[in-house]
Chains A and B, each alone.
Chain A
Amino acid sequence: MSIRIVNATLPSGESADFTIDHGVFTDDTSADRTIDASGLQALPGLVDLHTHLREPGFEQSETVLSGTRAAAMGGFTAVFAMANTMPVQDTAGVVEQVQSLGNDHGYATVRPIGAVTEGLGGTTLSEIGAMANSRAGVRVFSDDGKCVHNALLMRRALEYVKTFDGVVAQHAQEPTLTVDAQMNEGAVSSELGLAGWPAVAEESIIARDVLLAEHVGARLHICHLSTAGSVDVIRWAKARGIAVTAEVTPHHLLLTDELVRGYDARFKVNPPLRRDEDVLALRAALADGTIDIVATDHAPHPPEAKECSWAEAAFGMVGLESALNVVQEAVVDSGQLSWADVARVLSQKPAEIGRLDGYATPFALGSAANLVLIDPSARSTFSTASLRGKGTNSPYLGRELPGRVMTTIHNGYETVRDGEVVDAAEVADNARCAATEANNV
């Protein structure tokens, strides 16, 4: 089915009509169906370099199906699935299984991330080559949730991953400085009597790793950067020509540790919510390019993982459905980022870091039809009704946020239509057709 979209505003600000057919942008002017995008902002399909889909192993929290439905609802057409599944994504078999589940459901392209170390154990490298050369074509490797804290092992990982044009995505957390850590270490943790997670535990690992990356000439990606000091280290490293990229989560762009005062475990996340000064530094760094991308660290949990005391609660927040709203609230409406910047930090650049094809020249004739139409003038109260994944552990419940995803198109077919996720059977059907056509070409 071909779709014509008229009166859309492109990231550049120009108004445009375009047609998509057989999964790509074409110059036809007729189509089976027309979407009037007057007043809507078109963005390339969003790419999340940091998603926890939880399958296999933790299907009570999320599955590839429920997680990619959440992704589509948030305007994402591709997600990189973190390796901390059960079994861990540390072999070709597991990563191929995860990718094929994504392909079958069709809501988003699922690119598995491979574990750096076997079983995330931090001692032995996993079969990085086998994963890179598998059908899943893994290019991003991460022990996320745990830091690759052994310096020699990190050095070897950087070197070995470089061999396969991959990148190590480091969860920067010095473990000995964060034993039992519960929240950002500072004025608020001192009052609340919660064990602190000091900024230096993140910054010291980043400093070490950028120097290691420089030494071995490898790419390095820093997950969920959260402190002003980390921004300084990355800025210094980039000025020195080190091949480091960095991500920030939407929640670290908006929320601070003041929210922990009520001990509501929805605000418990790792790395923790930081101070106001950190939030402002992260926004500025995203605007000036020091931080390359926004990634969600979508981390769904079942209700019981949060219905307990703060110390007993799991770390993590769901973030796919709210990412764009939060980015708009934190940095677009304030004028720090344009929509073209949003396209860069939430689509082109994460695709580039993850070596994901099809996102380099959005909206160009012949390129893959992955796009999202949003209504930036909408405002609504975020609630569990806004969520499509299994997790309800969102820190935004009850908060008014701007923007609404009206349409998401993945590989030329709709996954969100009129603001609602399209039925799973229809999406799977369209995904199958798209795959068959791709094979025939």
Chain B
Amino acid sequence: MSVRTVLQHADITRALTRISHEILESNRGSDDLVILGIPTRGVTLANRISAIIESVDSAVIPAGALDVTMYRDDLAQNPTRPTRPTDIPHGGIDGKTVVLVDDVLYSGRTIRAALDALGDLGRPRAVRLAVLVDRGHREFPIRADFVGKNLPSSMEERINVRLEEIDGVDEVTIG
């Protein structure tokens, strides 16, 4: 199967900028917003979104990380996964609008785990979901509120998100 690039640096930046505006619009501003990325690349995306919002709204939007490893339902099916730090911004999530950020939305199981993990950390007023890529094949009644790109794919295909902060380059490939 050949690998092709579906998003490049400029596409990713454009998508995140659009998502940032949509978040502000749906939240009617930046009040009580908390952006939580799901490790590893979701955290990077969350930080970028937070920075974009700050640049357009000149408000500091707290960004953090939510590790969902210990809440996953597939731990027995895969090799033992390392955990990643969970970093909840000062002020917590009670009464806040939490925007979860992940790189790829697929079965929905990660987001299911994230909702459980959030529940153990507090009681947000609302939870939204932003993803860079939605590739379909949902196994749970979960949908994203903000999507960078819908990318219909076959289950055999592999979607690879690479980000400059981690991988040295911004691109999304499929193949």
Chains A and B in contact, CB within 8 Å:
no
Using a CB–CB cutoff of 8 Å, the interface residues on chain B facing chain A are none
